[in-house]
Structure 1
């Protein structure tokens, strides 16, 4: 079976006046269909740049990204993007926000309402379908954003630190909610995070990136069963994988400080 997401020798440069900055340097990665991959690394290592290229929001300077066997040449409905900022329309209710993409696709109103209702209930917002975003907590807003992304039926979810602005308890709750939704829907997920525990808890594999310019440093498999539970989070097996990921991220930062 072909990989769902393929990065091949992707380099991305940004022009800064008379100079150029290399954010990604010959980055290659395969993500399998239905896989949950998390990406970690030091600040400025190109994590979000890679995700934005996969989303079609940026073009690579060299190399290519393919999703579902097709070259990425711009945004597309097969890829749902979820940001740290909730990006909800404040004048629309939860239901209307979730229906928005369906309306753009021309889905008839009865089908639109049924599909939106399914995903609103799936993320636990059934009692808040008619609420405006200003009345929701941060975690509820992010669940609404996840429901909206799922509703348009993308085969791939690209998530850029979606829980980064949330408190610790809400973050853990949203991790469990996301995994529950992923296990039911089985979309391919590429998830950017700075949190090593979060990366290990969610993923089939953790991709560790090297600092400037962004390169693939190591891929660490997470051989832990689903569903993930508190017992797994507190297990020695989890701790061992977490420590390996932490060392892969932290050691390169220490090496960089010594070299500079």
Structure 2
């Protein structure tokens, strides 16, 4: 499947998106003519070298930045700002420092109008899921960087968006916690069926999670290759050791680190 293939059931569509910035009086092209469709309930990971525009693309999909030309669409409508159907998890924690872990996770639920009892039950479920049950009443300043990110993940899960946009959400976590949250993410995705776009620098993570891996290239930021991951779900730790996984990993690795200009 090529980068420009249009899907009949696309939930997310990127059409010839170009994004430029002024850099000391010169035009810097962060994204150059990027087109991509993501199907409903598909899990797509995005990898590429530093500076290839992964986060810029994510910000455009989240509605936090606008393309210089082209358009991004969700359900056929142009993205003009954030929306409740899109949950976003950034590399930064973006927690309210004056709210406890529980209150941070409840924030979106309160905005959605849930009563206090339902908010607390939902929040506690996702707080326990990310392993912060003992810290539910702690303020962010009392948490490590990895714990803050787990809190941000729980907050995004709690509002149950139909689309998850995730910008290196597990990058700050230790290896064991990272693997556990990968498994939990796939479990909730398999059960609840939502559309996921997940940015990562970790090639193993990209292959392990995805239906498709989008490999980007830099200068200008563009799609270099799209790799179909034809491994069955549920994914297992044994699968990471299989020859099939190794072949896919090597293909993605080579596409990321041995790109021709």
TM-score using structure 2 length:
0.90
The residue aligned with 1:55 is 62
Find the aligned partners of 2:126 and 2:53 in 1 and give their Cα distance.
32
Question: Residue 81 and residue 34 in structure 1: after superposition, are their counterparts in 2 closer, same or farther (change >3 A)?
Answer: same
Conservation of the 8 A alpha-carbon contact between 2:153 and 2:169 = no
The number of equivalent residue pairs is 254
Conservation of the 8 A alpha-carbon contact between 2:227 and 2:252 = yes
Find the aligned partners of 2:150 and 2:211 in 1 and give their Cα distance.
22
2:248 to 237, 241, 246: 241
Matched, 1:218 2:215: no
The residue aligned with 1:207 is 214
The residue aligned with 2:71 is 64
Conservation of the 8 A alpha-carbon contact between 1:24 and 1:46 = yes
The residue aligned with 1:19 is 26
Cα deviation, residue 90, structure 1: 2.9
Find the aligned partners of 1:180 and 1:134 in 2 and give their Cα distance.
30
1:151-178, Cα deviation, whole Å (9 max, x unpaired):
2231111111112222333322222222
The residue aligned with 1:110 is 117
The residue aligned with 2:150 is 143
The residue aligned with 1:180 is 187
What are the ranges of 5 or more consecutive residues in structure 1 without an aligned counterpart? none
Q: Secondary structure at the match of 2:106?
A: helix
Find the aligned partners of 2:64 and 2:108 in 1 and give their Cα distance.
18
The residue aligned with 1:43 is 50
1:75 to 71, 74, 82: 82
Question: Residue 137 and residue 180 in structure 1: after superposition, are their counterparts in 2 closer, same or farther (change >3 A)?
Answer: farther
Find the aligned partners of 1:170 and 1:119 in 2 and give their Cα distance.
15
Cα deviation, residue 140, structure 1: 3.5
2:174 to 158, 167, 178: 167
Find the aligned partners of 2:230 and 2:157 in 1 and give their Cα distance.
27
Find the aligned partners of 1:180 and 1:126 in 2 and give their Cα distance.
20
Cα deviation, residue 111, structure 1: 2.7
What are the ranges of 5 or more consecutive residues in structure 2 without an aligned counterpart? 1-7
Find the aligned partners of 1:236 and 1:113 in 2 and give their Cα distance.
45
Q: Secondary structure at the match of 1:26?
A: strand
Cα deviation, residue 108, structure 1: 2.6
Cα deviation, residue 135, structure 1: 4.1
Higher mean displacement: 27-36 or 90-99: 90-99
Conservation of the 8 A alpha-carbon contact between 2:168 and 2:201 = yes
Find the aligned partners of 1:181 and 1:214 in 2 and give their Cα distance.
31
